[in-house]
Structure 1
Amino acid sequence: MPVLCPACGTVNDPDAKYCEECGTQLGDLVEVSTAPEAGETEAVAEQNEATSSTSTPRRACVYCGGSIADDGYCELCGKPAQSERDHWQEAPAAWVGGVCDRGIRHEINEDAMALAADPQPGEFAVLVVCDGVSSTPGSDKASLAAARAATAHLAAGRETDVADGHGDELAQARWSDRMLEAGERSSAAIYEAIGELAARTNPPSCTFAAAVIDGPLVVVGGVGDSRVYWIADSGKSRQLTTDDSWSQEMMAHGMSRQQAESAPQAHSITRWLGADSPDEVPHVVPTYPTGAGWILVCSDGLWNYCSDADDLAELVHRVVGLVGSNPVQVASSLVDWANEQGGQDNITAVLARFDSVVPTPAQPA
């Protein structure tokens, strides 16, 4: 049967996990029983119990276990029902995983991620993070549509490449072209997801950061200020993407990182995915990381508290020392750390693990 959203009353498909209109989670329903009040007759109590058993089950509050009322708030603690978008994790393989979290200050989560990976460590993976622009309502839909469209297109490239039998000498050009196509697919998916909102003066939009791991080769693409890092176990860590932002332009003109990224306009982006974007083409960079380490794709909700690659590497090393090398556990700890720093933005951290030294087969194009 169709599922009625307890928060906004929207009728959703029977298999919907969260409301298409407001994002409220629709799963984990619990039945609510009513104890007889003082002085209530046994007959009335039985009648109330029968009525209760035929009424619509209610969801359990994730904070206290109480029941979510029809207005979308818990009857016991009063907190609003948590949306599925508020916090979730993905782990397509044991060596790849990520966590996406609403943070503390924002009312909704406009970050999104989408992952794909082969079971064999280091063989093939796709990591995509998109951060909805908070000043444009509906950007949560834009980011999720963009992330999923890009991941689907990049993952499909793996199947095509295997079938076509391309060699390593063409890998850089092949994946670079496909990364550019993924940006186009993401943009088209945003248009489809937001519908008539695309015609607004300030339409929904998002950033884009992606990494394709194909054996020793890593190809990254970016639009906006979500980032991809190489976090080395030892040696030099690097930021693999370049931000499209006011702060990046100021650093290019000689301003220090600390000054540029602490300025009020630091997070003003100059390029993004969306109907009003001046340029949606991703910057694409192929590279061959050597040694053991991590590919980290994240939104500014994480790197805003730890921007420099070496500083972020120190944080990751400390987390791994505490929780081990499971990517989801590492990502979850990074998200928790960002929330402890203030959680002023949505936070997404996605990681893929490299465990072996891989010789560089060719210089990046």
Structure 2
Amino acid sequence: MDVAMTSTTRTVCPSCGEPVSDADLYCESCGAELQAGAAPSTPALDTDTEPTIELHTGAPAEAFTPGPCRSCGGTVGADGYCETCGTKASKPRDHFSEQPAPWVAAVCDRGIRHSRNEDAVAIAADPEPGSRALLVVCDGVSSSLDSDVASLAAARAARDVLAAGHAQGMGTESSREAAVIARLNAAADAASDAVLQNTSPDSPNPASCTFVATVLEAGLLVAGVVGDSRAYWFPDNAEAVGLTVDDSWAAELIATGVPRHEAETGPQAHAITRWLGKDAPDHTPRTTTLRVDGPGWLLVCSDGLWNYCSEAAPLADLVRQTAAANGGEPLATSSALVDWANAQGGQDNITVALARLS
């Protein structure tokens, strides 16, 4: 995720040659460190300590025995390195998943090109399929040392606010919609506070992240967004729907008539115009409401996925085909979509959250 548009001097990454800002600490394209040893003078946390990741089992990721080496399949030793090829094992944050109910799941992955995972996801769901699901995705801006920690804190804080209660309103459909939107606004406030709490007050590059959340309750679907992470609704027997509009330079170009492909592949394609963070101009999410009355897939994702398939209709086809190949199981489908994005190049962190409505 690129930093919001700035006027800082541009240069190039010494590792891959891609354009970077002189304020960037990491290259957006390859993840290379640009300012060796640079760190806030008063760090918000120990950046050498990996944030605790709670998997869908509810246990801390650190309590799990490391899996096989992702490079050769060998055994990872107690020192964190493969005993066969010597490759350093993946950190828990590099790839994790959640599945609070059989019909809802999410997978978050570092991708191939980046050195750390600044994406984050937090989800919740009731056991009955189609009843209630809460999906939150945050994508950290890569110019800050703390964005990986802040994005995870933001996603979890928002999820907890959304899960705190059911919105009833005054008994009418319009009041119920208004109540859900108010709860989404409160979730964004909590996410913003979490980002601020994980930002060093002296940091020249304060932690920032995008925010997208969906609330599905009894046939009502509400999506809220700040930045360019996205939500989609893919009904089985109707036209695919993009639920969010990006807060980005590319979206502004598209609104003026620039073709989508041209706008989304230009030099400022991923420059966002709104975000969560200390220097954010406004973090109130833009919301969309929709009545859901049939089977389909609800997708919430970061740009690590939609970079490679942006428009709703082809992305819906990809999700349906992937789901069919994985028995319609949300966790397996989410994982396969992450694998697909990595196969396309994996140039960004990737997050996929899915709910299957039958």
TM bucket (normalised to shorter chain) is 0.7 to 0.9
Q: What is the SS of the residue equivalent to 1:221?
A: strand
Query: Which residue number corresponds to residue 253 of structure 2?
Result: 250
Q: Identify which of structures 1 and 2 has the higher relative contact order when contacts are C-alpha pairs closer than 8 Å and 6+ apart.
A: 2
Aligned-residue offset at 1:27: 3.5
Q: Distance in 2 between matches of 1:79 and 1:165?
A: 58
1:174 to 179, 188, 195: 179
CA contact 2:47–2:145 (8 Å) conserved in 1: no
Deviations 1:187-213 (A, max 9, x none): 11112233xx24322111100010000
CA contact 2:76–2:89 (8 Å) conserved in 1: no
Query: Which residue number corresponds to residue 20 of structure 2?
Result: none
Query: Which residue number corresponds to residue 135 of structure 2?
Result: 127
2:354 to 339, 345, 351: 351
Q: Distance in 2 between matches of 1:77 and 1:252?
A: 51
Q: Distance in 2 between matches of 1:134 and 1:216?
A: 36
Deviations 1:5-60 (A, max 9, x none): xxxxxxxxxxxxxx97332874445xxxxxxxxxxxxxxxxxxxxxxxxxxxxx67
Query: Which residue number corresponds to residue 189 of structure 1?
Result: 194
Q: What is the SS of the residue equivalent to 1:351?
A: strand
Alpha-carbon RMSD across the aligned residues, in angstroms, is 2.0
Aligned-residue offset at 1:65: 3.8
Query: Which residue number corresponds to residue 69 of structure 2?
Result: 62
Alignment of 1:1-365 (within 5 A): 21-23=48-50, 26-28=62-64, 62-63=69-70, 64-68=73-77, 70=79, 72-158=80-166, 161=167, 166=171, 168-194=173-199, 197-355=200-358
Aligned-residue offset at 1:266: 0.2
Q: Distance in 2 between matches of 1:68 and 1:20?
A: 23
Q: Distance in 2 between matches of 1:87 and 1:75?
A: 21
CA contact 2:185–2:284 (8 Å) conserved in 1: yes
CA contact 1:97–1:331 (8 Å) conserved in 2: yes
Aligned-residue offset at 1:110: 0.6
Q: What is the SS of the residue equivalent to 1:157?
A: coil
Amino acid at match of 1:348: T
When you count helix as a share of all residues, which structure comes out higher? 1
Q: Distance in 2 between matches of 1:193 and 1:117?
A: 27
Aligned-residue offset at 1:67: 4.2
TM-score by length of 1: 0.78
Q: Distance in 2 between matches of 1:60 and 1:91?
A: 19
Rg larger in 1 or in 2? 1
Query: Which residue number corresponds to residue 4 of structure 2?
Result: none
Q: What is the SS of the residue equivalent to 1:249?
A: helix
Aligned-residue offset at 1:328: 0.7
Aligned-residue offset at 1:234: 2.3
Deviations 1:163-195 (A, max 9, x none): x8855442100000111111111011112233x
Q: What is the SS of the residue equivalent to 2:164?
A: helix
Cα distance change on mapping 1:120 and 1:80 into 2, 3 Å: same
Q: Distance in 2 between matches of 1:156 and 1:65?
A: 43
Q: Distance in 1 between matches of 2:129 and 2:75?
A: 42
Percentage identity across paired residues of the two chains: 50
Q: Distance in 1 between matches of 2:337 and 2:275?
A: 25
Cα distance change on mapping 1:60 and 1:218 into 2, 3 Å: closer
CA contact 2:224–2:287 (8 Å) conserved in 1: yes
TM-score by length of 2: 0.80
Unaligned runs of 5+ in 2: 1-45, 52-60
Amino acid at match of 2:84: L
Query: Which residue number corresponds to residue 363 of structure 1?
Result: none
